[in-house]
């Protein structure tokens, strides 16, 4: 058996970390007990409306603190959970917890990341329906963030599930646009209610003309298709000005907010934030 065969199919992961099968199995076992032992928690990162400068949505971001106190980022452990299928159980936990947390926040949208493996599971819409019923969370305030991979791998199942999900009133956002193979043509092929420009595109658009043109034309197409546009990973005033001028509807990034525990969200609702209000004494200011 070749060395390669012992590694994960998820190539970027094996290239980046070169973990063996055994190490992956070990992490998968840890994730399984993390779920039963309550080692997961959710943080929320606010999205700021470019016009009103108010928080209009929050994105739910999964956090894992191991028993030894170490934090492991989702970019590390989500691919492992996807590989084993554990993401299905973790993802349902995330949805239920997030819907419960967000019940308290009137009017704003709750955005939850859904991985390709979840959307490929034909039972996903049924589980989602149950969670909405059990928690009483308004489906029209829920948005699911998916990536192009979700649709490329298994477009028929994905489209069928998305139709059921939309039937509940839930919106669908295309996440991480500008990375990987996501192209403008892709926007036309499938329907999304929101386009999320990845941080890498936002950063590059501030640095070179071709990337700027790419960002502007994606926004133009998104507009023509009545999609909302969010710029992700905005860290500087220059980037904020640029994406605002480009016509983005929301800004998400450390310039305004990092992800925070649920309990800290209410204090940021219903009051405008932004350039004028940011100074050293302002808790919104980036540290």
Q: How far is the CB of 235 from ligand C2E (least distance, A)?
A: 4
Q: Closer to ligand C2E at the Cβ: 95 or 214?
A: 95
Q: Closer to Mg ion at the Cβ: 32 or 186?
A: 186
**Residue 148 in contact with Mg ion, rule: CB under 5 A:** no
Q: Cα 18–19–25 angle (5° rounding)?
A: 160
Q: Which residues bind ligand C2E (CB under 6 A)?
A: 45, 61-62, 73-75, 78, 91, 94, 113-115, 145, 175-176, 199, 232-235, 252-254, 259
Work out which of 101, 145, 148, 249 binds Mg ion, going by CB under 5 A.
145
Residue 94 site contact among ligand C2E, Mg ion, none (CB < 5 to 8 Å, cut-off depends on kind): ligand C2E
Residue 78 site contact among Mg ion, ligand C2E, none (CB < 5 to 8 Å, cut-off depends on kind): ligand C2E
Q: Considering only CA atoms, which of 34, 85, 41 is closest in space to residue 60? A: 41
Q: Closer to ligand C2E at the Cβ: 20 or 63?
A: 63
Contact 144, 166 (CB under 8 A): no
Q: Closer to Mg ion at the Cβ: 20 or 43?
A: 43
Q: Closer to ligand C2E at the Cβ: 20 or 284?
A: 284
- Distance of CA 261 to CAs 59, 101, 258, 267, 271, Å? 12, 10, 10, 12, 19
Q: How far is the CB of 6 from ligand C2E (least distance, A)?
A: 25
Residue 115 site contact among ligand C2E, Mg ion, none (CB < 5 to 8 Å, cut-off depends on kind): ligand C2E
Contact 199, 179 (CB under 8 A): no
Q: How far is the CB of 189 from ligand C2E (least distance, A)?
A: 21
C-alpha span between 275 and 237 (Å, rounded): 8
Helices in the chain by DSSP H: which ranges?
A: 11-17, 21-37, 74-84, 87-102, 116-120, 124-135, 148-153, 155-167, 184-189, 199-205, 209-224, 237-245
Pairing mode, if any, of strands 55-65 and 109-113?
A: parallel
Residues recorded for the chain:
287
Query: Which stretches of the chain bind Mg ion, using CB under 5 A?
Result: 113, 145, 175-176, 198, 232
């Amino acid at each position: 058996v070749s060395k390669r065969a012992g590694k994960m199919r998820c190539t970027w992961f094996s290239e980046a970390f070169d973990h063996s099968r055994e190490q992956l199995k070990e992490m998968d076992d840890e994730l399984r007990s993390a779920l039963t032992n309550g080692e997961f928690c959710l943080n929320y990162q606010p999205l700021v409306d470019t016009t009103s400068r108010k928080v209009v949505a929050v994105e739910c971001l999964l956090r894992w603190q191991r028993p030894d106190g170490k934090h492991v980022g989702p970019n590390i452990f989500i691919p492992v959970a996807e590989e084993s299928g554990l993401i299905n159980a973790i993802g349902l936990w995330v949805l239920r917890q997030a819907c419960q947390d967000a019940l308290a926040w009137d009017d704003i949208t709750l955005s939850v990341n859904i991985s390709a493996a979840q959307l490929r599971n034909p039972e996903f819409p049924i589980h989602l329906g149950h969670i909405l019923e059990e928690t009483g969370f308004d489906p029209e305030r829920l948005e699911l963030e998916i990536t192009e991979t979700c649709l490329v791998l298994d477009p028929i199942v994905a489209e069928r599930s998305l139709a059921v999900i939309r039937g509940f009133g839930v919106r669908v956002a295309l996440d991480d646009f500008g990375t990987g193979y996501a192209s403008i043509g892709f926007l036309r092929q499938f329907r999304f209610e929101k386009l999320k420009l990845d941080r890498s595109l936002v950063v590059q658009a501030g640095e070179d003309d071709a990337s700027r043109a790419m960002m502007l034309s994606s926004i133009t197409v998104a507009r023509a298709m009545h999609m909302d546009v969010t710029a992700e990973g905005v860290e500087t005033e220059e980037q904020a000005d640029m994406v605002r001028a480009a016509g983005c509807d929301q800004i998400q990034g450390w310039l305004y907010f990092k992800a925070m525990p649920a309990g800290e969200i209410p204090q940021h609702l219903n009051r405008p934030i932004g350039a004028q209000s940011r100074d050293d004494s302002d808790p919104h200011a980036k540290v």
